[in-house]
Amino acid sequence: MAMHIAEGFLPFPWAAFWWLVSLPFLLVGLRSLARITREHPELKLLLALAGAFTFVLSALKIPSVTGSCSHPTGTGLGAILFGPSVMTVLGGIVLLFQALLLAHGGLTTLGANMVSMAVVGPLVAWWIFGALLPTGRTRLAVFAAAALADLATYVVTAAQLALAFPAANGGFGASLAKFGAIYAVTQVPLAITEGLLTVLVWNWLQAYGKPELKTLQLIQQES
């Protein structure tokens, strides 16, 4: 969770800017969510529990490929299962909970965190998965979607911080290099871990949860 931008960290113009950027995506997601729950009221509970699953996922300790422990974000898996627009709303709610209940992230930085974790991450996962699926290598598609969604989240977070705090010498580029270097050390192994983990979850769903997978993919089709 260390990738969330902390409360009060962004200057007001940037906090407001990222809120404005995130709002259209949130509205599209909400419209999509409202339509799904109107046509399939039974999915309302499932969506809430899917959000709770994402929250619980972020609190589970998973061994990392470097030997340390990390936690998955669930962004890639969520986007593959529910589609990017629903994931924007679920991700936004999970980020709001994390800000209010756990002091991870914040209310003023919620817009920026939503753009990186609930908008860009799911969109990247969705695109990658869609692009690689026709090759017939589903596992590779799942791995690449989850790992690259993770990496995209960190790249966007680093860019958000670099825009808000350009270096006195070198400006945005130098600052991006600084924040990117801070994230790269920890997040590249974590992205690989999340990719592998998502493949394992996907395998499990394919093997034992075909009916449940159909229910989950109903959300994606509707969105």
Q: Which is nearer to another protein, 20 or 134 (CB)?
A: 20
Residue 141 Cβ, how far from another protein at the closest point, in Å?
17
Token digits of residue 158: 């680093």
Residue 120 Cβ, how far from another protein at the closest point, in Å?
19
- Beta carbons within 8 Å of 9's beta carbon, 6+ residues apart: 106, 109
Q: Which is nearer to another protein, 131 or 203 (CB)?
A: 203
Q: Which is nearer to another protein, 86 or 151 (CB)?
A: 86
Q: Which is nearer to another protein, 86 or 124 (CB)?
A: 86
Residue 1 Cβ, how far from another protein at the closest point, in Å?
9
Residue 112 Cβ, how far from another protein at the closest point, in Å?
12
Residue 204 Cβ, how far from another protein at the closest point, in Å?
3
Beta bridge partners of 69: 63
Residue 167 Cβ, how far from another protein at the closest point, in Å?
5
Q: Which is nearer to another protein, 71 or 133 (CB)?
A: 71
Radius of gyration of the chain (CA): 17
Q: Which is nearer to another protein, 16 or 131 (CB)?
A: 16
